[in-house]
Amino acid sequence: MAFELPPLPYPKDAFGELISAETFDYHHGKHHNAYVTKANELVNADPALQGKSLVELINQTAASGPKGLFNQVGQIWNHNFYWLSLSPEKKEPTGELLNLINEAFGSVDALLEKLKAEAVGHFASGWAALILKDGKLAVTSYHDADCPVAHGDTPLFILDVWEHAYYVDYRNARPNYAEALLKDAVNWDFVAQNLDGQGAERANQQW
């Protein structure tokens, strides 16, 4: 058994200039794939780790390590969830999700501003996220390979703010990347689906 690189849920040229095919070649084909390869090496080397899911390994290693394995499985889960968080087709939040957004932030635009500020203000590598906490929406971020699963947070949406996510298309301009994707590439259907609390499972994989 082994973890596998999941296929992208859309063609790699589906986003046009918003996210280029070259970015997907590197980000999905090289970076995400490298986390999968490395995680499999580590799990293959230790029979006690075998047969477990990403979520199980994240929870097992989050507090007490080994940090090397946590980083790999955290990054596989984060990237699985990130690809699902994006859509090449522009969508809008509706229904219960829209009500929760208005209740927590006042408007969709205010939520997007808060997510952008979180993404831009996050120092160095990591992930900006929208989560459900105590029945309310909240914006937060995670450093490096850390992920919502490791904190028991209910994930709704995440945005990769590692440089490898934007350097090909936006060079060093993280604010432009965050603004462009938040405006036109959020898969609001996926965000709404995750209100059922099953988001962690949607990016999970069995070894």
| Structure tokens that stand for 50 in this block | 């075998």
* Number of residues near Fe ion (by CB under 5 A): 3
Nearer to Fe ion, 102 or 140 (CB): 140
Composition of the chain by helix, strand, coil, percent to 5: 55, 15, 30
Residue 153, interface with Fe ion (CB under 5 A)?
no
Strands (E), 63-144: 126-133, 136-143
Which residues sit opposite 157 in a β-bridge? 130
d(CA 39, CA 204): 14
Toward Fe ion, which CB reaches closer, 75 or 204?
A: 75
Distance CA 151, CA 169 (A): 32
**Which member of 160, 177, 181, 205 binds Fe ion (CB under 5 A)?**
160
Site string for Fe ion, 20-59 (x = CB under 5 A): ----------------------------------------
Q: Which stretch binds Fe ion (CB under 5 A): 7-15, 16-24, 127-135, 163-171?
A: 163-171
Q: Give contact residues for Fe ion (rule: CB under 5 A).
A: 160, 162, 165
